[in-house]
Amino acid sequence: MADSPSILIIGAGELGTAVLEALSKHPKRNNGKIAILLRQSTISTQDPEKKKQNEYLQSLGASFEAGDLANDSAAQLAQVFSRYHTVISCSGFGLPAGTQIKLSQAVLEAGTPRYLPWQWGIDYDAVGAGSAQDLFDEQLQVRSLLRAQQKTDWVIVSTGLFMSFLFLPAFGVVDLKERKLRALGSWDAKLSLTTARDIGRMAAEVAYDPRDVSHQVVYIAGDTVTYSQVAELVQRRFGGEWTRELWDAEFLKTKLAEKPDDVMLKYTNVWAVGRGVAWDMEKTLNGQRGIELQGLESYLREMPDLE
């Protein structure tokens, strides 16, 4: 049996680590090198916490490649990428505008056979250009770059909202401390949710067992729920009194006009419009392959009780 393809993971945050964990124990893996692209300062760090994290990554069989997404040129990154069959990008938050386009250009320049870009999230095709979140326009440009060529196979994994994001007070849907529950757009509007761990599992599935998945967007989700269902599940899990508020599209548009640089408000505006943020579970790759991912009710059970 041939070795599994060599894989380079870009970044080792929550998602990169989840992808590595899933790759390392995937049943279809047969040897095959796994490396992680990190800044040289991270690789050679003396910080005890970062050293501990690096040791954990190495314990899962990963080696390290040095690279700087923000400062290296596409040509420099391409030199590294050319050593690998599959590149999985798990780094995007906080990077300068244009970084995802540069990454994609580097992948194409390297002739990388397979690429899973940083597109873990909503369906940017459905969202369309000119949305409240200007970063999404760059994601559409990445898609155009990839679709304009045939040499590099690419798979975009649309995940919906990261499950943990639902509970960020700044996002607004569930504020545990203030005991507030909000709908973005309407209470009947739907949103798809997936945990970082399960995104890692499905990335590994696409990498090691692609079958006919090629040059396309696929969808995954641990759950697709309405805001009303979110509120009911949260209240049932934690009990007590909760306040419900509706943040409709007009309200959020007004708030964004007052604070045009508020990144989180840009996100909430997109979810309030409601395009490309939810899909039926039957449409998902995990649903089609009979892979059970964690739903919201199960996720809530694992959360600590409120004080």
**Model pTM score:** 0.95
Residue 194 pairs in a beta bridge with: 162
Average pLDDT, the chain: 95
Strand order in the sheet with 223-226: 161-162, 190-194, 223-226
Q: How far apart are CA 207 and CA 156, in angstroms?
A: 12
* Residue range 107-161, pLDDT digits in tens: 999 999 999 999 999 999 998 887 878 778 899 999 999 999 999 999 999 999 9
Q: How far apart are CA 89 and CA 188, in angstroms?
A: 34
Query: Token pair 């203030």 is at which residue?
Result: 178
Helix axes 263-273, 249-258, angle to 10 degrees: 160
